[in-house]
Amino acid sequence: MGQRVTKVRPITIGEVYEQHLSTPPKPSTNRAVQHPHPCDETPVDYIFSRYSVGDQLGKGGFGVVYEGRRLEDGLKVALKYTTKTENMECILIPDHPAPLPKEIALTILANKGHHVPQIIRLLDWMDHPDHFVMVLECPSPCENLVEFIRRHGGSLDEDTTRQIMWQVAHAANVCCLRGVLHRDVKLDNLLINRETSEVKLIDFGCGDILRRSPYRSYHGTPAYSPPEYHSRGKYYGGPATVWSLGIVMFALLCGHFPSDFDLFLLEYKRFSKPGMSKECCHLLRALLHEKPSRRLGLGQIMSHNWFKVVNLRSAKRN
């Protein structure tokens, strides 16, 4: 097998959750810009004259997310307030005359075309010299998959995982078809509605325009990075996305990220878990193959036999 980062033991989802709560936000590289509450903005500000701002939902190196309401109709939204840094990239996209911050541009592109409910919608945005604000849909009641797994005892059964994975694979595939490489498909970036089980892919902040040539830097989360990046220093967008989907699926089913030994067992068809079907093991192996060329194609995942044993009409209806 190729070179991989050695893990002493599998990292549990509970540990990920605790790290998520305890890790302090990374400081901005732009020292002159802080993260004031949006209500400190001038009264004529476009966004905050149209939206009320509520409690803080989250904070990190990217900035701050607040709960909000659209004043004209009371629609619940999330306002993501992001500080610009000196090296923040802006890109040109069709129908927009000036370059946009990459996260705004990629979210617009991922939603271009018919509505796909599994991809978070950008409702509004505003670009300022030192920061930008994104107004995003805010499904309720929802939680990310780290919280969802913890609430369900640390791992999920195969049927629940299947319902989630169909939606995640669909969202990732649509993004790529629309020329967007999300590059950070992970448990934290997947919201699930506790009442409808609808899943949404969020946060395009680590993404890039999908290209045919290899990428030589990785801006996503290390635990989801493909092995070819560590062994060769490069990777292709499609196979890397498939690998991250495999990590998500494995974590949902097993409650921890796959160790090197787990990956060895998968590759040699010896991995098993009580109650896990043959089709499920086959899909895991097809997603987490060490060689990118041997992984299942992103557009083929939803046609795998594992998804044919459950009624997915509710997910496909939209």
- List residues with catalytic annotation: 184
Contact 103, 205 (CB under 8 A): yes
For 127, 128, 193, 218, the CA distances from 107, given in Å and listed in that order, are: 14, 18, 20, 19
Token pair 């078809």 is found at 177
Residue 306 has which token pair? 């594992």
**Paired sense of beta strands 208-209 and 180-181, if any:** antiparallel
Q: How far apart are CA 239 and CA 291, in angstroms?
A: 9
Cβ neighbours of residue 160 closer than 8 Å, sequence gap 6 or more: 152, 252
CA-closest candidate to residue 79, choices 27, 160, 137: 137
The 3-state DSSP class for residue 91 equals strand
Q: How far apart are CA 121 and CA 79, in angstroms?
A: 12
